[in-house]
Amino acid sequence: MPAVPMNGQNETAEGAREPQAFSGNGHSALREANDQLAEANAKLKAVTEHVDELKEKLAKLTHDFEVANASKQEAMDAVDQGERKLNLAQRLATALSSENERWGENVQTLRRDAKLLTGDVLLASAFISYAGPFNKPFRTHLMENVFKPFLLDGFRKVAGEDGTIPMSEDADPLKVLTNEAEIAQWNADLLPADTSSAENGCIVCNTSRWPLLIDPQLQGIRWLKQKEGATERNLQIVRLGQKDMMRKLESALENGHSLIIENIGESIDAVLNPVIQRATIKRGSRYFIKVGDKECDFHPDFRLYLHTKLSNPHYPPEIQAETTLVNFTVTMAGLEDQLLNLVVEKERPDLAATSADLVRKLNGFTITMNELEDNILYKLATAEGDITEDVALIEGLEETKRISNDIEHQSVLAKQTQADIIVTSEKYRTVANRSSLLFFFMNDLAKVHTYYRFSLAAFQQVFFRAIDLVSSKNNGAGSTSGGDADEDDEDDGEITVTSNSASNDDGVPLTSEQLTVRCECLKDSITMTLFNYIRRGLFEADKLTVATLLTLKILVNDGRLEANESEYLVHSKTSVDPGNMGPLQEWLPESAWAKIKCLQGLPCFNRLGDDMQTDSDEWSDWFDVENVENAQLPGTYDKDLTPFQKLILFRALRPDRLVYSLSSFIGDTMGKEYISQKPFDMKATFEETNSKTPIFFVLFAGVDPTPWVENLGREMGISLENKRFVNISMGQGQEAPAEAILKRYAKEGGWVMLQNCHLMSSWVPKLERLLEIVSEGAHEDFRCFLSAEPPPMASMRNMPESLMQSCIKVANEAPSNIQSNLIRAWDNFSQDTIDSCAKPTEMKACLFSLCWFHAVVSERNRFGPQGWSRKYSFNTGDLTICANVLRSYLDANDEVPWDDLRYIFGEIMYGGHITDAWDRRTCSTYLKVYQDPALLSSRTGVELAPGFKSPSPNDMDYSDYIKYVEECMPPESPALFGLHANAEIKALAQRTDSLFFNIIGMGLGGAGGSDNDISSTNNEDGGSSGSRASGNGLVSDTMKDLLARLPPEFELVALGIKAKPLLQGPDGPYLVVALQECSRMNALLAEMRRSLEDLDKGLKGQLNMTQEMEDLANALRLNQWPGRDPFSRCRWQQLAWPSNKSLSSQFQDLLARVEQLKEWTSAFKTPSCLWISGLFNPMSYLTALRQIVSRKCGKPLDKMTIETHVTNIYDPEKAKEMEAIDGAFIHGMYLEGGRWPRGEEAGDPFDVAGTPCAGSLVESAPKELLSEMPVIFVKVVPQDEEERGDDIYQCPVYYTSMRGPTYLFPASLRTSSCLTPEQAVLRGTAMILSDD
């Protein structure tokens, strides 16, 4: 190696130097060494250079190797990266492959929809703006028949025939406003799962105005509470008038929270107007709003919701414009689905639990799937760089897809399971359908009386109780054949159904046959239980109405009755041109013939008119039968007609017997229990209550609920003595004690009874809120009892709607027959009362007669205006005070002061209630008969009524009188009141008319349901039911017909000019009457024309619908003269004459009046025989007559009077041939409660001032309620020459049979022994100007 020689040389050199220092011979060796060194160094250099060269080559080779390795590694890395990208791309493609087709379709759909967005958004905007207040059918009507055609026509005009219309053919606002996931979330938040509710959710969530929820069933507010219940929303719920409302409002405004103002009325505090109007003030970038006198920050996240429980509120235009009304009233279809779930939950809890879980899962799946899809799209949209290199993204997408596939798989399984459950659940659909029908039937009853209000919560309680009441022996569970239970099981007792009641004893589900039987039992139980719940709170007069309506609804809904037959029964239509009656005119009323001809529209009656004319005698005999419902119909009609078709016939021919026929029909169809009611059971009623449910007693004369509550309380250990019961009679100053005791007993437990709440109308709304507050967490023994008198009219309100909905109502009226009234009146006294008098015999006799008098005058009200022309509330206090007066007068006088007693009783005590002079005459006549000295005679006595004499006071004590009444009292009849049998016929016919008028008012026209009703803007059935789907069409047709036939107005200016020269003549007063009548007619015609034209514009949308227009439309729908309802804002009745006729009949009357005025004013010649009924003011004509005769006689007008003489002229045309000296002929009058004989029965004629007269007042003919009077000669005579005598009956003349305020003048009629003046008074005999 080169290093070794070098070292050797160094060592040699060192060794050489050392000897050189010591010797001189070392120079040669040194040179040699140096040469060697140089040689070695050269070699070293060469080696070094070679080494360096090798190193360079090595470095180059190493570099080339490294470069090759790097290239190789780079290639390998590129291959690996490509493989990884390919793998990730494959995974990404796999993850998104299932979405590719759907997204592709969505892209195409979005591109297509983008072109249609203009029209779809316009339609959705219109839907949000206008559809909220309406029910589902009317919303559909608006969208399909109004909005869509309008937009399509507008787009076509712009785009042309070949242009593209920017609107979807099947445009649906819900597709624009929401999606399935959002709807699923709403459903999860307790929004009902029906289309109408989804639409409501869309409107609430998308409107730019604050929503106002019309929510009588509280389903909307329940959803809102859940939807806005998140912690960050800090939902606050307040009421108007609440102390801290403004503080909570300010806090919500400033912090962006949600606020619900619940249970508002029909007005809103003015302090809220800036908030409702969003009247914000901008300062810089901040917004402020004024609340009262304070400015608050307006946070953009603030949400305000207004809510009302009112079912049909009427808000002023400003509220409607500044808020979005949203109708959350439950729909029939929606409620049916809800009730189906409740039935299944009760009958099959296993299926219900599974179904509920599946619904929750499916809603959750829908929401999760939407979130996952959004997440995928978000990640893809926000990914940076090469997406195939983002492993985390792709792995996340794979996990998302895995979850999505898992959810989709579970959804398929869940939907399959749910479909199987639905198949089973649908078997209970008939039960849910019946129950839904019953709720809307119950909801409609508020149209009959404001006390008949019920909540959905109360209905559900009754619904569940009815299911529990079904006994297992009737449900088919114990029979494998599905038949009825064995007779041996009848004594097993009723078994309450448990939760697995839809299974056999061994747990096996029922067969289809058994389930059908079970469902029928459930329907019957629910119907009966609900009817009993309702009936307990009904007035006696309304019970048959409600039972009839329920029966008709169920029969039509179940397909057991044709809707058109139901309509014929309810409406009882008449033919406009019935034609000639032939032989029927001898006995059949014309009104009945018009109905018979209309009935021929039904196939079963298509030959009825001809058959009646052919067999007139047979039909006449049948018509005259008293209990016609039990008689066999002539011909083959008895076997050909169904029981219901017979009702239709009775409605046309014998409406007075329809009440009894209906009762029999309902009993046979629905069951006897729907007609006969068990006595009121206070304990059973109490068992239905809880601490949150008050009991509301309706107060009637002679009925006191206090003992019922007190006696029950003692049984349960609650009484005044142990201070757990408090009875407060409400009045001024009692508010604070009532509120304090309610709060105290709600905490401690106890009963509170608040009586006469109707006296505190301004406080009861506060009571309603207080009961809501204290019932939350109230003691289980807390109960509240309320009582109030009903308002004077059924449509008036004296109690809050929501309070009546929450109460169990009890209307337990006292028996209304005269025997019960008599016994109840006698029970107010005792033997001690009689013995306390100095003259016990006289006291006994007079007191019994007084009790009879009290019973008669109290019960006479049921005969309507013929009984008393006005309604009077005679009470027990009148009787007891009169008894005290009787005892005092007997003690103070030796003889019975009959005249004094009659005067005090008739003019002061009972007469103090009476405001009508003719009614006071009736009262005095009764006392003249009843308070008579013959009372004290043991031999004769007083005939209190036909077949019922006053008993001998010498032979009876107090208790004997009760036995005498119970044993000797004749059957109830009008004769007991001194009335003719026709009075009962009329009362029954009026009851029939009232019954069906209420049914028509509730909307029944033949349909059992109301999901097709588009005439009501309040709710899906508006609380309305029936076949009013064509209601607006009926209104429109009627309106157009009236406008077409409405005569033009009179030219008053021209008539005035024409009459001016004649006014100073002898007939001047008549001309004044004619001009006044024309002026009144013009006012009526102008108002009719204006209101009808306004309604036409309102229906077309050209004017806002006002309350007046709604009232007019409702009257047209009911065929009622507009304005007759005292609460109507329509003015027709104010400008018209008094009448009880229907709209169609009164309009015909109007046309006839116009014709008479035209004839009168054509030459201003007064008709020689005037149709006095055709005048607005008949008294003006009679006054003009007196004025003319007084001028002729030269006597003062106030000294002249009129006499009425009934002629033997029946044709007004014949009267024109005669002259009425000092008087005039009039016609068009009818007699009620009597009859004027004709022909030979009238007797020999007699002459009055040259006018032939004949006849005297006689008894009414059977079933002839109104007897047409002959032409009447009205003669003006001085007062001192007026015909008087005991045989002259001063007969009141009324405009209509309503009597009372329609009184005109007294007519003097001759009487005979057939009908004395006293008998005529008790008969209620009067003349009427209209035949109604």
Q: Please compute the mean of the pLDDT values over residues 900-912 and round it to a whole number.
A: 92
Q: What is the mean pLDDT of the chain?
A: 85
Q: What is the pLDDT of residue 388?
A: 67
Range of lowest pLDDT (79-88, 364-373, 995-1004): 364-373
Q: In percent, how much of the chain has pLDDT > 90?
A: 47
Quick count: other Cβ atoms within 10 Å of Cβ 267?
11
The C-alpha atoms of residue 700 and residue 812 are separated, in whole angstroms, by 8
The C-alpha atoms of residue 1277 and residue 1293 are separated, in whole angstroms, by 19
Q: What is the pLDDT of residue 171?
A: 85
Q: What is the pLDDT of residue 1174?
A: 94
Does residue 506 or residue 1144 have the better pLDDT? 1144
Residue in 975, 1015, 1185 with CA at minimum distance from that of residue 1099: 1015
Residue in 1117, 1060, 1062, 1052 with CA at minimum distance from that of residue 1086: 1052
The pLDDT of residue 1186 is above 60: yes
Q: Please compute the mean of the pLDDT values over residues 867-872 and round it to a whole number.
A: 90
Q: What is the pLDDT of residue 181?
A: 78
Structure tokens at 353: 């639990």
The C-alpha atoms of residue 217 and residue 457 are separated, in whole angstroms, by 8
The pLDDT of residue 1332 is above 80: no
The pLDDT of residue 394 is above 80: no
Are 186 and 199 in contact, with CB atoms under 8 Å apart?
Answer: no
3-state secondary structure 1047-1094: CCCCCHHHHHHHHHHHCCCCCHHHHHHHHHHHHHHHHHHHHHHHHHHH
The C-alpha atoms of residue 602 and residue 646 are separated, in whole angstroms, by 12
pLDDT single digits (tens) 529-554: 999 999 999 999 999 999 999 999 99
Does residue 384 or residue 501 have the better pLDDT? 384
Banded pLDDT at 19 (limits 50, 70, 90): very low
Q: What is the pLDDT of residue 1004?
A: 65
pLDDT single digits (tens) 42-58: 888 888 888 888 888 88
Task: Give the three-class secondary structure for 1142.
Answer: strand
Banded pLDDT at 648 (limits 50, 70, 90): very high
Residue in 405, 373, 385 with CA at minimum distance from that of residue 88: 385
CA distance readout (Å), 815 to 701, 702, 846, 1115? 11, 10, 24, 35
pLDDT single digits (tens) 320-354: 889 999 999 988 888 998 898 888 888 878 777 77
The C-alpha atoms of residue 1296 and residue 1328 are separated, in whole angstroms, by 6
Range of lowest pLDDT (400-414, 485-499, 902-916, 1233-1247): 485-499
Q: Please compute the mean of the pLDDT values over residues 1160-1183 and round it to a whole number.
A: 92
Q: What is the pLDDT of residue 44?
A: 87
Quick count: other Cβ atoms within 10 Å of Cβ 562?
15
Question: What are the backbone angles phi and psi of residue 101, rounded to the nearest 5°?
Answer: -65, -45
Residue in 1178, 1176, 1177, 1199 with CA at minimum distance from that of residue 1187: 1199
Q: What is the pLDDT of residue 1026?
A: 36
Burial 340-350 (b: 16+ CB within 10 A, else e): bbbbbbbbbee
E strand or H helix at 199, and its extent? helix 195-206
DSSP string of 675-731, one letter each residue: TS-PPP-HHHHHHT--TT--EEEEP-TT---HHHHHHHHHHTT--TTTT-EEEEE--
Range of lowest pLDDT (27-36, 288-297, 804-813, 858-867): 27-36
The C-alpha atoms of residue 436 and residue 423 are separated, in whole angstroms, by 20
Q: What is the pLDDT of residue 3?
A: 45
Dihedral sign computed on CA atoms, order 443, 448, 451, 452? negative
The pLDDT of residue 1330 is above 50: yes
DSSP string of 64-122, one letter each residue: HHHHHHHHHHHHHHHHHHHHHHHHHHHHHHHHHHHHHHHHHHHHHHHHHHHHHHHHHHH
Dihedral sign computed on CA atoms, order 650, 652, 653, 654? positive
The C-alpha atoms of residue 1157 and residue 1081 are separated, in whole angstroms, by 9
Task: Give the three-class secondary structure for 789.
Answer: coil
The pLDDT of residue 679 is above 90: no
- Give the amino acid at 890: L
The pLDDT of residue 1185 is above 60: yes
pLDDT single digits (tens) 1021-1034: 333 333 333 456 78
Q: Please compute the mean of the pLDDT values over residues 968-996 and round it to a whole number.
A: 91
Q: What is the pLDDT of residue 72?
A: 83
Q: In percent, how much of the chain has pLDDT > 70?
A: 90
Does residue 921 or residue 88 have the better pLDDT? 921
Banded pLDDT at 5 (limits 50, 70, 90): very low
Q: Please compute the mean of the pLDDT values over residues 623-648 and round it to a whole number.
A: 91
Q: What is the pLDDT of residue 60?
A: 87
Banded pLDDT at 369 (limits 50, 70, 90): low
pLDDT single digits (tens) 1273-1329: 999 999 888 888 888 999 999 999 999 899 999 999 999 888 899 999 999 999 999
Q: What is the pLDDT of residue 342?
A: 85
Banded pLDDT at 471 (limits 50, 70, 90): low
DSSP string of 247-295, one letter each residue: HHHHHHHHHT-EEEE-S--S---GGGHHHHHT-EEEETTEEEEEETTEE
Q: Please compute the mean of the pLDDT values over residues 119-137 and round it to a whole number.
A: 91
Q: What is the pLDDT of residue 341?
A: 83
The pLDDT of residue 437 is above 90: yes
Q: What is the pLDDT of residue 490?
A: 35
pTM of the model: 0.81
Are 453 and 799 in contact, with CB atoms under 8 Å apart?
Answer: no
